[in-house]
């Protein structure tokens, strides 16, 4: 069974202490007991709360949850930098490194001439990272 959104949020935010959960509740514009009701699955997150959650806690898994089973993927927006040519160069280099990680994962998986489910999952994660790097590079070029 697929993980529900509240379970995903609870799993990620349970790593922070109770005091931090109170801060998280405030960032989302709600009282602690209302926030905890959402983490426990007794109440649903509203769209405006989800937007604030994604703003203050931009966990890749949160974005992937909403984009699962679509032709879209999440990619971080490029950070504006003074020297845009250096930014593009760094973005291109990062994209190449991510693509090399895909190749390395495929090569490691094929040492025994087959790809099992764990190796497939690892390769797909590497592909997602490479796609994200390329999308960020594209976005930084479109900003110029």
| Predicted confidence (pLDDT) per residue in 74-121, tens digit | 877 766 554 577 778 888 999 999 999 999 999 999 999 999 999 999
- The reply to whether 91 and 50 lie within a common domain is no
Of 74, 28, 77, the residue nearest 9 (C-alpha): 28
DSSP string, 121-142: HHHHHHHHHHHHHHHHHHHHHH
Q: Has residue 102 been placed in a domain?
A: yes
Q: Has residue 113 been placed in a domain?
A: yes
19 Rama class: left (phi>0) / alpha (psi -120 to 50) / beta: alpha
User: 109 lies in which domain range?
Assistant: 84-143
- Considering only 1-10, 39-48, 80-89, 115-124, which range has the smallest mean pLDDT? 80-89
Domain count of the fold of the chain: 2
- The reply to whether 63 and 93 lie within a common domain is no
Q: Element (H or E) spanning 43, and its range?
A: none
Q: Has residue 74 been placed in a domain?
A: no
Positive or negative, the Cα torsion across 9, 14, 18, 19?
negative
Q: Is the pLDDT of residue 1 over 50?
A: no
């Amino acid at each position: 069974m697929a993980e529900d959104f509240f379970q995903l949020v609870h799993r990620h935010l349970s790593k922070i202490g109770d005091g931090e959960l109170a801060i998280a509740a405030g960032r989302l514009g709600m009282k602690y007991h209302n926030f905890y009701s959402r983490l426990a699955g007794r109440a649903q997150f509203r769209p405006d709360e989800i937007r604030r959650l994604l703003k203050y806690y931009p966990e890749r898994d949160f974005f992937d949850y909403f984009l699962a089973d679509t032709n879209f993927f999440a990619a971080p927006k490029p950070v504006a930098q003074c020297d845009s040519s250096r930014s593009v160069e760094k973005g291109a280099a990062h994209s190449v490194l991510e693509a090399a990680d895909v190749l390395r994962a495929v090569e490691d998986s094929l040492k025994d001439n087959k790809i099992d489910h764990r190796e497939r999952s690892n390769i797909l994660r590497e592909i997602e990272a490479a796609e994200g790097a390329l999308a960020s590079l594209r976005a930084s070029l479109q900003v110029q």
